Amino acid sequence: MDSEQLPTMGSDQRGSVIMQARVRADFAAKLTKDAEILGLDGTSELVREGLRMLHRRAREKAAVAELDRFYGGKIAPLPTGVIADDSI
């Protein structure tokens, strides 16, 4: 993990911060095409969407870890009425 401190909401009175990343030119070109496909308007919107996806992924991982802690590493029971599909 990078030793650089991430800003907190309280670090800027306007409630926003600037987060930047340097990427290779060939990757930037691919991202520009991706933004067009997704209907995203410009680099800022592209970066914001990427950060939202990253945050969603982190929240999912945190939820899985919490379930693992709660069930002590055992498989969580299925909800009532759900039948296990053993073919998976």
pLDDT per residue of the chain (88 residues) written in tens, 0 to 9: 455 666 554 555 668 888 889 999 999 999 999 999 999 999 999 999 999 999 999 999 999 999 999 999 888 888 899 988 875 5
Per the confidence metrics, is the pTM higher than 0.75? no
Q: Rounded distance, CA 63 to CA 47, Å? A: 24
Among 48, 56, 38, which Cα is nearest to 16's?
48
Q: Which two tokens stand for residue 77?
A: 């029971």
**32 found inside a domain:** yes
**62 found inside a domain:** yes
**65 found inside a domain:** yes
**6 found inside a domain:** no
Q: 35 and 45 in contact (C-beta within 8 Å)? A: yes
Amino acid at 41: D
**Considering its fold, how many domains does the chain have in total?**
1
**7 found inside a domain:** no
